[in-house]
Amino acid sequence: MRKEISILENVTIDQLQLKNRTVVAPMTRVSTNGDGIPTEQMATYYRRYAEGGFGLIITEGTYTDRTFSQAYPNQPGITNDKQLEGWRNIVSATHAVGGKIILQLMHGGALSQHLSNTRGPSAIQPQRKMLEGYSAKQGVFPLPQAMNSAEIDELIADFTASALRAEKAGFNGVEIHAANGYLLDQFITDYTNVREDQYGGSIENRCRLSAEIITAIKSAVADDFIVGIRVSQGKVNDFDYTWPNGIDDGKIIFTSLKNAGANYIHFASEGKGFDHGCLTKNGESLPKLARELTGLPVIANGGLDNSNEAKRILKGNHADLVALGTGALANPDWPNRLKNHIPISPFNADMFALGVTVEHQFKWEEKANRA
Ligand SMILES: Cc1cc2nc3c(=O)[nH]c(=O)nc-3n(C[C@H](O)[C@H](O)[C@H](O)COP(=O)(O)O)c2cc1C
């Protein structure tokens, strides 16, 4: 029997010691000046979460190469020394106040709102339309070209080079973004991947690329550098998708990620709460399965700024840590509030009425504080 754990109790991910179980979920903020170099304002933004008591911060999705990975204009990258130095400044600012920070590595694939010439596992038209607020480009996504095997090899090498840059910048680790409908999730998903090579067909084959990326990174970085992975059922362009074979898919995916060398599994729920995104269509908990099957630390997500809901998830053995998205935007000091019994503010979507950048957020906060 596992003893009841508290949100504010410490925890370790492999050798990384965290002061509590609260995590800032990765959130794209498109706040660079077009060059992908993280700014001073972004350092203020990230440092604030560490000051607010979060045990771990996962950064926004960061692009990994200069060809096909960038998803949004003004998204940060980690593809050259200048971008690395921008991130180093953010890492230093965060570490200086006792925070721990992991860089999310992201390839947009067929959901890029930045490129006209996109790549995906297969030449299949993405569902629905581009997200509003993240790019001037709107409407339907372009038809992607299927990646060839040389491009896949290059992709793995680029993820690895990016992880090495992240290590050099001082990050505590990287998280591979294989969730929410972006490239690696496009490989995992049955209807976006109709390849006939070793990366398509069975679910074992469809999660092979994510597994190979983890293994390649783990063999390149120091032993204590964390390599986690984020997966989900739902997608930004298909919120209600569930893994077609539920628990059976989960067993194969989680085992493959563990065997590849992942240090943690992060299960995301895009926008509609834990139960909506994290349970199979038969109501079984996928994060709980990941915990039981792999023994790895599991981060759960989805409406967990409601502390009763967060407690239910930890108590029910669904996860070891809870990641907050919109709740962290509204309460950058959520853990300190919990500790000091200060009420939590609800997320107000007006924060992004004029745009989703950090600058827009800070201006909105200034106005809200004056009112
Ligand atoms: C502004 C914004 C940007 C996001 N960008 C990312 C991202 O870069 N990578 C990612 O994995 N998820 C991203 N997400 C999803 C969040 O990490 C999280 O899964 C989602 O907000 C649900 O959690 P919540 O219910 O706590 O808000 C984003 C969410 C928001 C609100």
108 contacts 114 by C-beta, under 8 angstroms? yes
Could you give the angle at which helices 208-220 and 149-169 cross, rounded to 10 degrees? 40
Q: Which amino acid is at 327?
A: G
268 Cβ below 6 A of ligand 1: yes
pLDDT-based confidence at 370, cuts 50/70/90?
confident
Per-residue confidence (pLDDT) for residue 5, from 0 to 100 = 74
Task: For 320-355, write each residue's pLDDT tens digit.
Answer: 999 999 999 999 999 999 999 999 999 999 999 989
61 CA to centre of ligand 1 in angstroms: 10
Task: For 25-67, write each residue's pLDDT tens digit.
Answer: 999 999 999 999 999 999 999 999 999 999 999 999 999 999 9
Q: What contacts 279, CB < 8 A, 6 or more positions away?
A: 285, 286
243 contacts 249 by C-beta, under 8 angstroms? yes
Dihedral (C-alpha) 88, 89, 90, 91: value to the nearest 10 degrees? 50
Domain boundaries, the chain: 11-370
Using alpha carbons, select from 346, 184, 339 the residue that is nearest to residue 268.
184
The mean pLDDT of the chain is 97
What DSSP element (H or E) covers 321? strand 321-324
DSSP state of 248: H
271 Cβ below 6 A of ligand 1: yes
141 contacts 130 by C-beta, under 8 angstroms? yes
Closest atom, ligand 1, to C-alpha of 230: 11
- Measured by CA distance, the residue closest to atom 30 of ligand 1 is 27
361 Cβ below 6 A of ligand 1: no
Q: Tell whether the model's pLDDT for residue 4 goes beyond 70.
A: no
The structure tokens listed for 212 are 């190979």
- Measured by CA distance, the residue closest to atom 31 of ligand 1 is 326
Give me the DSSP letters along 134-185. S-S--SBPPPPEEP-HHHHHHHHHHHHHHHHHHHHHT-SEEEEEEEETSHHH
182 is catalytic: yes
- Ligand 1 pocket test, pick from 270, 354, 361 with the greatest ligand atom count within 8 Å of Cβ, gives 270
pTM of the model as a whole = 0.98
Find where tokens 């890029």 sit.
112
Question: CA–CA separation, 307 vs 335, rounded Å?
Answer: 10
The structure tokens listed for 174 are 């990287």
Of the listed 63, 72, 182, 241, which one is catalytic?
182
27 CA to centre of ligand 1 in angstroms: 5
Q: Tell whether the model's pLDDT for residue 210 goes beyond 90.
A: yes
- Measured by CA distance, the residue closest to atom 5 of ligand 1 is 27
CATH match of 11-370 with 3.20.20.70: yes
Question: CA–CA separation, 162 vs 176, rounded Å?
Answer: 11
221 CA to centre of ligand 1 in angstroms: 27
Q: Tell whether the model's pLDDT for residue 205 goes beyond 70.
A: yes
**Number of CB atoms found within 10 A of residue 122's CB:** 19
Q: Tell whether the model's pLDDT for residue 1 goes beyond 50.
A: no
Question: CA–CA separation, 34 vs 210, rounded Å?
Answer: 28
Find where tokens 């045990």 sit.
55
115 contacts 67 by C-beta, under 8 angstroms? no
For residues 183-195, average pLDDT: 98
Q: Tell whether the model's pLDDT for residue 291 goes beyond 70.
A: yes
253 contacts 289 by C-beta, under 8 angstroms? no
- Ligand 1 pocket test, pick from 7, 22, 28, 266 with the greatest ligand atom count within 8 Å of Cβ, gives 28
Task: For 137-154, write each residue's pLDDT tens digit.
Answer: 999 999 999 999 999 999
Q: Tell whether the model's pLDDT for residue 93 goes beyond 70.
A: yes
Q: What percent of the chain clears pLDDT 70, i.e. is strictly above it? A: 99
Task: For 216-235, write each residue's pLDDT tens digit.
Answer: 999 999 999 999 999 999 99
113 CA to centre of ligand 1 in angstroms: 17
pLDDT-based confidence at 301, cuts 50/70/90?
very high
209 CA to centre of ligand 1 in angstroms: 23
Q: Tell whether the model's pLDDT for residue 23 goes beyond 80.
A: yes
pLDDT-based confidence at 215, cuts 50/70/90?
very high
For residues 97-106, average pLDDT: 98
